[in-house]
Amino acid sequence: MTSDKTALVAGGAGFIGSHLVERLLGEGAKVVVLDNLQTGRLVNLAHLRTKAGLKIVTADVIDDLPPEVSNTRFTHIYNLACAASPPHYQVDPEHTMLTNVVGTRNLLRLAERTGARFLQTSTSEVYGDPEVHPQREEYRGWVSCTGPRACYDEGKRAAEALIFDFDRLGRADVRVVRIFNTYGPRMDPCDGRVVSNVICQAISGNPLTIYGDGSQTRSFCYVDDLVDGIERLMAFEGPQPGPVNLGNPNELTVSDLVERVLALAGSGNEVAYLPLPTDDPRRRKPDISLAASLLGWEPRVDLQAGLEATMSYFQQELSDEATRAAH
Ligand code: NAD
Ligand code: UDP
């Protein structure tokens, strides 16, 4: 398949980015990945390296864009550059904020210069610890601007402000998805998010960690469904529709998730209760009626099938790691 699409995927070596790159290459697009490898891994793209049309540039999106990027006439720019897991984005909060604000500005200016359509991966974190449930795009959120999650949440909110200013001023053609918790193969085993943590713990025979009492809820979307939604919004030709929620509305508690993983692993591991992190949102569930009506999108992979695929991936990943460690 060929395509006249030339895409930049910032953050393309990460979990979601690598799935997007795979899909774009499958459609025949030329793809440049820009990634500083902070949380991304080249191994996520290893199976694609022999494909014609893929170029990987290691650089930080907050710096001046390297010539391989700034001299390419992109038709589409996807901004996924930003660590997504709280323990990772909190290591260097200043860098996280700059990634969201300066990095997004750099890519928006590139879009302005090349005429590329720009898509931002925003987040359900813009709703903070929501008082409205489920969350619709109109809800303005309840976010702490002083807490340990603020570098990410407020950084993503500032990025949205900048993006919609570029839109209002006619400087760029923009699309924004607000992603709710997404999981699947190619998550980093050390990512620190609940799905990767508890599956890896179940496989390795360690206690499964629940932060707080486990009654907080999340809604988990399988990565293939998410990438499908991203591509549908990128291809959407109507008037700029504002931010669009993408997520799976199947809400469950963290304790429910842990039980599902234990049942799947067939293991009798213990559960360890650890303190709830500061500002951890109590509830999270997307209202996806806008994505459904605008894009005809809804998630197709149910939690059981998604967890099975993710567990198979981690079984392989952890056994490869053990083999490497033994040599
Ligand atoms: P990830 O950490 O696996 O991927 C992020 C990628 O961005 C990594 O490859 C990392 O090395 C790269 N990166 C980070 N800072 C960078 C910088 N300054 N310059 C260049 N590259 C940089 O995370 P993910 O889960 O794949 O998330 C991808 C995007 O989706 C992120 O923007 C995240 O905020 C957003 N998102 C993800 C989720 C989720 O549940 N996974 C939810 C909401 C939003
Ligand atoms: N969590 C947990 N055990 C873990 C990791 C996370 O109970 O090992 C909790 C976390 O406190 C949060 C939920 O699971 O309430 C989802 O956390 P994650 O980091 O996956 O996503 P986010 O908090 O960004 O939605």
Question: Against a cut of 0.95, is the pTM above it?
Answer: yes
Q: Is residue 324 over pLDDT 90?
A: no
Instruction: Give the pLDDT score at 323.
Output: 76
Q: Residue 56 corresponds to which amino acid?
A: I
Does the model's ipTM exceed the 0.95 cut?
yes
User: Does residue 150 have its Cβ closer than 6 Å to ligand 2?
Assistant: no
Buried/exposed code over 8-25 (b: 16+ C-beta within 10 A; e: otherwise)? bbbbbbbbbbbbbbbbbb
Q: Is residue 3 over pLDDT 90?
A: no
Of all ligands present, the nearest one to the C-alpha of 282 is: 2
Q: Ligand 1 site: residues with CB under 6 angstroms? A: 10-11, 13-17, 35-40, 60-62, 80-84, 99, 103, 121, 123, 179, 181-182
Query: Which residue ranges make up each domain of the chain?
Result: 6-183+221-248+286-301
Residues above pLDDT 70, as percent of the chain: 100
Q: Render pLDDT for 194-244 as a digit per residue (tens, 0 to 9).
A: 999 999 999 999 999 999 999 999 999 999 999 999 999 999 998 999 999
Instruction: Give the pLDDT score at 2.
Output: 72
Instruction: Give the pLDDT score at 130.
Output: 94
Rounded distance between C-alpha atoms, residue 280 and residue 54, angstroms: 38
Nearest alpha carbon, ligand 1 atom 33: 84
Instruction: Find the length of the chain.
Output: 327
Of all ligands present, the nearest one to the C-alpha of 285 is: 2
Instruction: Give the pLDDT score at 247.
Output: 98
Question: What integer is the mean pLDDT of 314-322?
Answer: 88
Whole-number CA gyration radius for the chain: 19
Cα 75 to Cα 274, 299, 308: the distances in Å are 46, 27, 36
User: Does residue 86 have its Cβ closer than 6 Å to ligand 2?
Assistant: yes
6-183+221-248+286-301: CATH homologous superfamily?
A: NAD(P)-binding Rossmann-like Domain (3.40.50.720)
Could you tell me which residues are beta bridge partners of residue 30? 6
User: Does residue 124 have its Cβ closer than 6 Å to ligand 2?
Assistant: no
Q: Render pLDDT for 268-292 as a digit per residue (tens, 0 to 9).
A: 889 999 999 999 999 999 999 999 9
Q: Of 8, 19, 39, 43, which is best to mutate to test ligand 1, by the most ligand atoms within 8 angstroms of its C-beta?
A: 39
Q: Residue 239 contacts by C-beta under 8 Å, 6 or more apart in sequence?
A: none
Tokens standing for residue 246: 């993408």
Question: What integer is the mean pLDDT of 44-69?
Answer: 96
CB 137 within 8 A of CB 290: yes
| Confidence label for 256 from pLDDT (cuts 50, 70 and 90) | very high
Instruction: Give the pLDDT score at 319.
Output: 86
Buried/exposed code over 32-48 (b: 16+ C-beta within 10 A; e: otherwise)? bbbbbebbbeeebbeeb
Instruction: Give the pLDDT score at 155.
Output: 98
Instruction: Give the pLDDT score at 326.
Output: 76
